[in-house]
Structures are given as structure tokens and as C-alpha cells.
Amino acid sequence: MPAGFSRASGSIQKLDLTDSSAVESLLSSTRPAIVVHTAAERSPDRCVSDPMATTALNVDSTAHLSQLCARLGATLIYISTDYVFPGRPGEAPYAASTPTEPPNFYGETKLAGERSVLAQPAGVVLRVPVLYGDVEENKESAVNVLLDVVWNSNGKRTVHMDDWSIRYPTNTEDVARVLVDIAERYRDGNGEALPRVLQFSSEERMTKYEICTVLADVAGLPVDHIVANAENDPKAAGTLLFPLGVKRGRDWANVAANEGLRTGASATSVRLSFVDARTQGFGD
């Protein structure tokens, strides 16, 4: 059963994870075998500007959910982030066993969430890097939003774009398939064979500037207004997370062949619809 918050509608049940009695009531009545915990404040800047709300959601509600799942005998799968690692030059790729050292408050709260999940007997952590996929608005993803930059929706003459930090843009559908794999293993009683801290990433290495050039190529747009900034951005943590053992990365070279994206009329109406490329024989 899916649960959401501000966008809950239809089959998506509304649940405020910071309302512990509501969470307890829903889980006690539905008795799920597997709970996938995706909710978080994930913008490093918003985390800093509202630390109390961030702690309530990222830390406290995760601790409560962990304890509740343990009491009800449910397996909790917790989505975490590569921001638990510092991202210093030359250190990546990080193995799941690498000692953590978050570079910012967001990473600290996600690491605290990891610890409460791992303190329970049946909790699993899945770390993922920067994500893209189907969205309502491009600003929901740090990758999708680059499409707005390519379309130059703000009408800027020049945009400086990070060309230093290596990203591994990973598709949310691929993460969902990994989650299904993990859930099925636990459901079938084979979950114990998996490590309790898992990491999944695509294998495409790209800076944000390089992502812009790919998107510009796909959309048939010029990229002249975007200037590569090759200086170190200390806020950017670029890491390669070891994959779970299944190659699920996208073939970005084939993305340009997706004619559907070329015909998009405006920045807001064009989404990264090549997430569907797999069905046309691209991707895996």
C-alpha cells in the first residue's frame, strides 16, 4: 500500500511520518511484511535552514518507524544517500563498508537514520546517488532541473555549471526494480544472505555540465549559454557506489535517439521521458 504526504491522492494514503500515533495506527492495521521508507528532507540547503523539521522527519520519524517495524515483525528498507561519504578527490568509489563521514547536515541526518534502522534486527539500508526520473516539475530532481537550464527558462545570458564533481545520475525506475529485488528476497526468506548496507548506482560518470550537454543534444537545443565551471565546488560530493551486482545503468548515448523528447514544446512540458526508453530496446 503506497503512502504519501502533501501529494497523497487516489490509492496513495495520506500519512504524516512525524505523527507517530498515525504511523502506528496505519502499520498496526495493515501489517505490512515489508516497509520501504523513502520520505526525507533531501535538499542540503533546506536541511540547514530548518534543522528542527529536518531532524523530526529524517531522524526521529526514521527511528520511530524502525522500532515499530521491529515490533510488528516487518522488514524496513531505508533509502539513504552517498552524502554519508565526504566525496574527497580520489576517494571514490566508496565500498559500503567504508567508514562514513557526512560532508553536511543532510548527510548527518541520513546517517542517523541508517543507524536506527541497523539497530533493529530486520532493517536494510540502500544508498543511492543523485536521482532522476518521472516528475511533476523538473525542480524535483537535481538532474531533471538541468533541463530547465538547457531550455534557458530564466532567459539568462550565461549560466556557470559545475564541471568538476563527478555524478552518477541514477534512474528512479531502476532503483524501484532494485527495491523489488530486495523485498522479494526478504519475502522469500533469503534476505539474510544480503549485506544489511547495500549501494546501487548507475555506471555513467558525468559532471552536471556534461549532463546538460547530453540533454541539449536530446532536445536539439544549443548549449552556448552554459559555461563549464571546472573549479572544485566544495559542496559537491561525487561518488561511485558499488552496484548491487546487477548492471542497470542507462545507455545515455542512445537517449538522443528518443525522438519523443525532441518534439517537446516547452521546458515544463518536457520531462526526462527517456526513462521509458527501455521499452523501446534502449537502456539495459
Is residue 40 a contact point for ligand NAP (CB under 6 A)?
yes
Contact status, residue 134 vs residue 176, Cβ threshold 8 Å: no
Q: Which residue has the cell 504526504?
A: 5
Is residue 21 a contact point for ligand NAP (CB under 6 A)?
no
Q: Report the alpha-carbon distance of residue 46 to residue 57 in Å, rounded.
A: 13
Is residue 57 a contact point for ligand NAP (CB under 6 A)?
yes
Toward ligand NAP, which CB reaches closer, 22 or 230? 22
Q: Report the alpha-carbon distance of residue 111 to residue 146 in Å, rounded.
A: 28
Is residue 219 a contact point for ligand NAP (CB under 6 A)?
no
Amino acid at position 124, single letter = V
Is residue 18 a contact point for ligand NAP (CB under 6 A)?
yes
Toward ligand NAP, which CB reaches closer, 140 or 217? 140
CB-based burial label for 109 (10 Å; 0-12, 13-18, 19+): buried
Is residue 237 a contact point for ligand NAP (CB under 6 A)?
no
In whole angstroms, the minimum distance from the beta carbon of 166 to ligand NAP comes to 15
Is residue 42 a contact point for ligand NAP (CB under 6 A)?
yes
In whole angstroms, the minimum distance from the beta carbon of 265 to ligand NAP comes to 25
For ligand NAP, which residue of 81, 171, 199, 201 counts as binding (CB under 6 A)? 81
For ligand NAP, which residue of 34, 110, 123, 199 counts as binding (CB under 6 A)? 110
Q: Report the alpha-carbon distance of residue 280 to residue 200 in Å, rounded.
A: 24
Toward ligand NAP, which CB reaches closer, 18 or 55? 18
Is residue 17 a contact point for ligand NAP (CB under 6 A)?
yes
Is residue 7 a contact point for ligand NAP (CB under 6 A)?
yes
Contact status, residue 13 vs residue 4, Cβ threshold 8 Å: yes
Cell numbers standing for residue 277: 526508453
Q: Catalytic: which of 94, 106, 132, 209? A: 106
SS3 228: strand
Least Cα distance to 262 among 216, 193, 229 occurs for 216
Span from 16-24, 64-72, 91-99, 202-210 in contact with ligand NAP (CB under 6 A):
16-24
Q: Which residue has the cell 545515455?
A: 252
Toward ligand NAP, which CB reaches closer, 5 or 153? 5
Number of residues that bind ligand NAP (CB under 6 A): 23
Cell numbers standing for residue 40: 526525507
Is 106 in the active site? yes
Around Cβ 59, how many Cβ atoms within 10 Å?
19
Q: Report the alpha-carbon distance of residue 20 to residue 156 in Å, rounded.
A: 45
Is residue 31 a contact point for ligand NAP (CB under 6 A)?
no
Cell numbers standing for residue 264: 517537446
Which residues contact ligand NAP by CB under 6 A?
Answer: 4-8, 15-18, 38-40, 42, 57, 79, 81, 110, 128, 130-131, 140-142
Please identify every residue annotated as catalytic: 106
